[in-house]
């Protein structure tokens, strides 16, 4: 599909336009890029069927951008983009991946020091060359070095959400082979870890040759590291590696157990086996030379006197002790989720109208959707002011009347994602907050405050009686920036006292709270909400990733407020 290729180019064009400080246009390109990324139909097919006219029906596409899409489909190039690349021969994607480094800074660094890529950037920063540039200074130089360090730390790991759809596709392709008797994803993907080193598959088959031939001839392969009858290893064009192992049926369960990990879980489990006079490895559970069991995972855990913990729990964080005492939690599932309480609409520049978002939520079987647009402090996000919020309420009331008249119990709830200012106050006055069904608050500025100040800032927001939810409570962006400095114990204690709900943000690069903090929050008795923070109707599907992290954090349906029915939720608020 050309959709992703064109989207990527448009994002870069937006960066170049920002470099030249062109107004509004960058946003237009970003918007189309987002629409292309979420388009289900192939753009080439749309063009073949309906010509340029059909292309211009894609949201945000006008004559100008439409012509560029057609140019790419016809020639594989966009001259406008090529010209920019000639003018600024920099690796934009690489450089802007450094936290805090935007297109304008890239322009200045290229203009003065001829910096074109990450390597040159690091060299200049280490050499103290950046601090003396106008508009940069010592602090910026230090931040750049920290940003680079952070990138290196997470290098080579992939976001679960970025690779999961393709991993599922490989799984179903393997499953459809008639030679394949069993297939399972294992490793960190099966445990739904937020980032993935490599992908591991297990297969049972009597014709390993056929299966390996298939595995090593998939279309997206860029390298075959090894190909054998029991193990093959490949790299896909997205950059990640996939291992496939073939095991005999009698060892399938023990191999699945072993290769699911985690390593820490396995080490603990093996000790228990030894204490009971067994030997446990990927071939089975043995007493002396005699195999006791190995066919199923459940069989192995049972023989060791325990329940089989869901893969998401296998991090040696107490799950083995719970499994031994028959006390494993009954984890939340995607099917328990009855609505999404943090979504954006076109009122604040999102891609879809409230009605479009609501329809998408209904098609997921939800009972409600909370619209929570940004508020006025966030000017780049077209944040709403008090007057606009009141107007928005009217539209939502109108929609709900329609739903009611048609006999649907679905409701749109009115919220806002307000900003916690540096002193902990909220950028919308209480009088207006009071009129919302519930208000959300989040930190969207001044991320680098000292720990104590940042903790106080958030706690003050929680004390506002109208703020019911704190969005993405730690502010981390995976592979990009660390969480801000906060005292999580103090935050959890205050959340409990003020009955403030903490969000599990499902966006694949956020997953905030993370698994460890989710578990901690539950132990503190704090309630959670799993939200997508959708800026497009197709983002609603990210809910699954929030649910996986909640499972990794031992969450049960009872801990999460958007498992409530609409009635119960309204009473709750
Ligand atoms: P990743 O790939 O870094 O995201 O993480 P995993 O957990 O998928 O790790 P990987 O691919 O190296 O190995 C897959 C599983 O195999 C791992 O979760 C547990 C098991 N395993 C690997 N090495 C060892 C080991 O040295 N000892 C034990 N007990 N298990 C291991
Ligand atoms: Ca792995
Ligand atoms: Ca592996």
pLDDT(88) > 90: yes
The verdict on the CB of residue 197 being under 6 Å from ligand 1 is yes
- pTM, two decimal places: 0.85
3-state SS record for 143-203: HHHHHHHHHHHCCCCEEHHHHHHHHHHHHHHHHCCCCEEEEEEEHHHHCCCCEECCEEEEE
The whole-number pLDDT of residue 99 equals: 85
Which residue has a Cα nearest atom 18 of ligand 1? 261
pLDDT tens per residue across span 92-140: 888 998 988 989 999 999 999 999 999 999 999 999 999 989 889 898 9
The whole-number pLDDT of residue 501 equals: 98
pLDDT tens per residue across span 231-241: 999 999 988 99
The verdict on the CB of residue 240 being under 6 Å from ligand 1 is no
Give the phi and the psi of residue 378 in degrees, each rounded to 5. Answer: -85, 85
Superfamily for domain range 158-246: Beta Polymerase, domain 2 (3.30.460.10)
CA of 154 to the centre of ligand 1 (A): 18
Q: Among 90-99, 295-304, 501-510, which stretch is predicted with the lowest mean pLDDT?
A: 90-99
Q: What are the domain boundaries of the chain?
A: 3-153, 158-246, 264-324, 334-572
* Candidate from 184, 188, 254, 280 with most ligand 1 atoms within 8 A of CB, to mutate: 188
Kindly report the length of the chain: 573
The whole-number pLDDT of residue 455 equals: 98
Which ligand sits closest to the CA of 243?
3
CA of 199 to the centre of ligand 2 (A): 5
Residue 104 CA neighbour count, 13 Å, CB half:
9
Per-residue confidence at 505, pLDDT binned at 50, 70, 90?
very high
CA of 149 to the centre of ligand 1 (A): 25
The verdict on the CB of residue 271 being under 6 Å from ligand 1 is no
The whole-number pLDDT of residue 116 equals: 95
The whole-number pLDDT of residue 35 equals: 87
The whole-number pLDDT of residue 348 equals: 85
Neighbours of 124 (CB within 10 A): 19
Q: Which fold has domain 3-153?
A: DNA polymerase; domain 1 (1.10.150)
pLDDT(378) > 90: no
- Tell which atom from ligand 1 comes closest to the C-alpha of 189: 8
Q: Which CATH class is domain 264-324?
A: alpha beta
Tell me the C-alpha distance between 323 and 306, whole Å. 5
**Percentage with pLDDT > 90 across the chain:** 87
CATH of domain 334-572: 3.20.20.140
Per-residue confidence at 151, pLDDT binned at 50, 70, 90?
confident
Helix (H, G, I), strand (E, B) or coil at 343: strand
Which ligand sits closest to the CA of 244?
3
Contacts (Cβ under 8 Å, ≥6 apart) of 490:
455, 459
Burial 272-304 (b: 16+ CB within 10 A, else e): bbeeeebbbbbbbbbeeeebbbbbebebbbebb
Residue 221 gets the label, from left (phi > 0), alpha (psi -120 to 50) or beta, of beta
Per-residue confidence at 473, pLDDT binned at 50, 70, 90?
very high
Per-residue confidence at 154, pLDDT binned at 50, 70, 90?
confident
The verdict on the CB of residue 262 being under 6 Å from ligand 1 is yes
* Candidate from 241, 266, 314 with most ligand 1 atoms within 8 A of CB, to mutate: 266
The whole-number pLDDT of residue 90 equals: 94
Which residue has a Cα nearest atom 27 of ligand 1? 263
- Share the mean pLDDT of the chain: 95
Tell me the C-alpha distance between 455 and 442, whole Å. 13
The verdict on the CB of residue 100 being under 6 Å from ligand 1 is no
Can the peptide bond before residue 425 be classed as cis, meaning omega within 30 degrees of 0? no
457 and 487 in contact (C-beta within 8 Å)? no
Q: Which residue has the higher pLDDT, 37 or 264?
A: 264
Which residue has a Cα nearest atom 16 of ligand 1? 259
Per-residue confidence at 41, pLDDT binned at 50, 70, 90?
confident
Neighbours of 33 (CB within 10 A): 23
The whole-number pLDDT of residue 150 equals: 83
The verdict on the CB of residue 261 being under 6 Å from ligand 1 is yes
Tell me the C-alpha distance between 202 and 138, whole Å. 51
pLDDT tens per residue across span 399-437: 999 999 999 999 999 999 999 999 999 999 999 999 999
CA of 257 to the centre of ligand 1 (A): 11
The whole-number pLDDT of residue 338 equals: 98
3-state SS record for 478-500: CCCECCCCCCHHHHHHHHHHHCC
Contacts (Cβ under 8 Å, ≥6 apart) of 557:
330, 332, 333, 336, 563
Ion ligand 2: residues, CB < 5 A: 187-188, 198, 200
Per-residue confidence at 207, pLDDT binned at 50, 70, 90?
very high
pLDDT(364) > 90: yes
Q: How large is the average pLDDT for residues 313-340? A: 98
The whole-number pLDDT of residue 37 equals: 84
Give the phi and the psi of residue 234 in degrees, each rounded to 5. Answer: -130, 160
Structure tokens at 6: 């064109």
Which ligand sits closest to the CA of 259?
1
- Strands of the 199-205 sheet, one edge to the other: 180-186, 199-205, 241-246, 231-236, 221-227
The verdict on the CB of residue 196 being under 6 Å from ligand 1 is yes
Per-residue confidence at 156, pLDDT binned at 50, 70, 90?
confident
Tell me the CA distances in angstroms from 57 to 47, 77, 200, one per residue in order. 11, 22, 41
pLDDT(155) > 90: no
Burial class for 335, CB neighbours closer than 10 Å (0-12, 13-18, 19+): exposed
The verdict on the CB of residue 120 being under 6 Å from ligand 1 is no
8-state DSSP, 250: G
Of the ranges 28-42, 152-166, 348-362, 551-565, the best mean pLDDT one? 551-565
Which residue has a Cα nearest atom 28 of ligand 1? 263
Helix (H, G, I), strand (E, B) or coil at 420: strand
158-246 and 264-324: identical CATH topology? no
DSSP string, 52-97: HHHHTTSTT--HHHHHHHHHHHHHS--HHHHHHHHHS---HHHHHT
Q: Which residue has the higher pLDDT, 477 or 348?
A: 477
pLDDT tens per residue across span 4-29: 899 999 999 999 999 999 988 998 99
The verdict on the CB of residue 311 being under 6 Å from ligand 1 is no
Q: How large is the average pLDDT for residues 390-405? A: 97
What is the residue whose two structure tokens read 């031992």? 554
């Amino acid at each position: 599909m050309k959709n992703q290729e064109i989207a990527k180019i448009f994002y870069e064009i937006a960066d170049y336009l920002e470099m030249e400080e062109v107004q509004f246009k960058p946003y237009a390109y970003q918007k189309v890029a987002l629409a292309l990324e979420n388009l289900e139909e192939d753009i080439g097919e749309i063009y073949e069927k309906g010509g340029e006219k059909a292309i211009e029906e894609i949201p945000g596409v006008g004559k100008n951008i439409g012509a560029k899409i057609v140019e790419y489909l016809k020639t594989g190039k966009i001259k406008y983009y090529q010209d920019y690349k000639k003018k600024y021969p920099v690796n934009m994607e690489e450089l802007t991946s450094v936290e805090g480094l935007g297109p304008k800074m890239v322009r200045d660094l290229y203009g003065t020091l001829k910096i074109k890529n990450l390597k040159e950037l690091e060299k200049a920063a280490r050499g103290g060359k950046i601090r003396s540039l106008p508009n940069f200074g010592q602090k910026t130089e230090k931040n750049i070095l920290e940003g680079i360090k952070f990138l290196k730390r997470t290098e080579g790991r992939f976001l679960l959400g970025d690779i999961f759809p393709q991993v599922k596709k490989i799984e179903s392709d393997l499953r459809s082979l008639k030679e394949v008797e069993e297939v399972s994803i294992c490793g960190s993907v099966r445990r739904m870890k937020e980032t993935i080193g490599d992908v591991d598959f297990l297969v049972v088959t009597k014709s390993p040759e056929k299966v390996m031939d298939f595995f090593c001839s998939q279309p997206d392969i860029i390298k075959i590291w090894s190909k054998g009858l029991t193990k093959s290893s490949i790299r896909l064009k997205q950059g990640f590696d996939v291992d496939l192992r073939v095991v005999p049926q009698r060892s399938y369960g023990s191999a699945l157990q072993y290769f699911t990990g985690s390593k820490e879980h396995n080490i603990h489990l093996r000790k228990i086996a030894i204490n009971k006079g067994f030997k446990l490895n990927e071939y089975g559970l043995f007493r002396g030379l005699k195999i006791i069991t190995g066919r199923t995972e459940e069989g192995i855990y049972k023989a060791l006197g325990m329940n089989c913990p869901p893969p998401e729990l296998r991090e040696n964080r107490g799950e083995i002790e719970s499994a031994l005492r028959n006390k494993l939690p009954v984890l939340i599932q995607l099917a328990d989720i009855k609505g999404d309480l943090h979504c954006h609409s076109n009122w604040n520049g999102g891609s879809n109208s409230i009605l479009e978002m609501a329809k998408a939520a209904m098609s997921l079987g939800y009972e409600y959707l909370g619209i929570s647009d940004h508020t006025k402090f966030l000017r780049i996000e077209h944040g709403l002011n008090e007057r606009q919020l009141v107007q928005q309420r009217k539209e939502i009331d109108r929609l709900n009347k329609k739903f009611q008249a048609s006999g649907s119990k679905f409701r749109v709830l009115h919220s806002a994602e307000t900003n916690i200012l540096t002193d902990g106050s909220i950028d919308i006055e209480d009088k207006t907050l009071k009129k919302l069904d519930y208000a959300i608050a989040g930190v969207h500025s001044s991320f680098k405050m000292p720990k104590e100040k940042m903790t106080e800032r958030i706690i003050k927001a929680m004390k506002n009686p109208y703020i019911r939810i704190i969005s993405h409570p730690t502010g981390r962006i995976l592979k990009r920036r660390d969480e801000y400095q906060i005292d999580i114990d103090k935050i959890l204690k205050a959340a409990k006292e003020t009955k403030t709900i903490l969000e599990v943000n499902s966006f694949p690069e956020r997953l905030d709270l993370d698994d460890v903090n989710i578990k901690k929050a539950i132990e503190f008795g704090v309630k959670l909400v799993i939200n997508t923070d959708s800026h497009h109707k197709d983002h609603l599907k990210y809910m699954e990733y929030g649910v996986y992290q909640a499972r990794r954090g031992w969450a049960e349906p009872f801990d999460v407020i958007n498992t409530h029915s609409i009635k119960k939720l309204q009473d709750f608020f």
